[in-house]
Structure 1
Amino acid sequence: MASSGKDKCIDYVEFNVTDIGAARSFYGDAFGWTFTDYGPSYCEFSDGHLKGGFTTEGKPRPGGALIILFADDLQGTLKQVEQAGGKITKPVFTFPGGRRFHFADPDGYELAVWSDK
């Protein structure tokens, strides 16, 4: 399998928020970020370099943005995470644009891995 050049790199940051409109206003006004809406519970942002998202499908965790890595081979990466001692907290699921899973590292930090395949 050919590498995408971003395999196993941080690719996306996701914030659980209580109000997407308020988050858009704050980050747009404070930092000039741009936004793309994907329904009432999800909005993607771009700071011109990195993309991320705001979702209302979880509770806000101050200081706890979800770090999302990209994988060329999602299933292979899931196996590597488990073999390295990670605990899968949300099995692979699909969403518009791809598939992903969540895991906890040995210290309990939650991260996710996604693939467009």
Structure 2
Amino acid sequence: MHQHEKLNYVEFAAKELTATKTFFTAVFGWEFVDYGPEYAAFSNQGLDGGFYHSDACNRTANGGALLVFYSADIKATLAKVEISGGVVVKCFRPPSFEFSSRPVRPRSAAIHRCVCAVAAHCNSRSYNQ
């Protein structure tokens, strides 16, 4: 549903469009709709968007977007990312939102779930499925 002045669509540069699509399909199960040889759109991933072919690429080190994914099984997700040639830029646990002067143990297994940030592909190697 479109909402006034809320993010609606995001686009990322991809040096190798086919490798980028292969990676996101293998790791996260994304499906793409191609709009010619230089653009591929995705939807139903929390935010719709697309990748466009470019000599530039989305690197966080150069100020590019950081893609953060939630995972209920972080070890399995990390393994899929690495097997498929991705790079995990950061991995962290979401805060428990409990305030205390001393450490507090999480009360729910849901808090033990992690999110990971994955770097988009920018080099010229092929990626395994």
TM-score of the aligned structures, taking structure 1 as reference length: 0.47
More strand per residue: 1
TM-score of the aligned structures, taking structure 2 as reference length: 0.43
Highest RCO, 1 vs 2 (Cα 8 Å, sep ≥ 6) = 2
Structure number with larger C-alpha Rg? 2
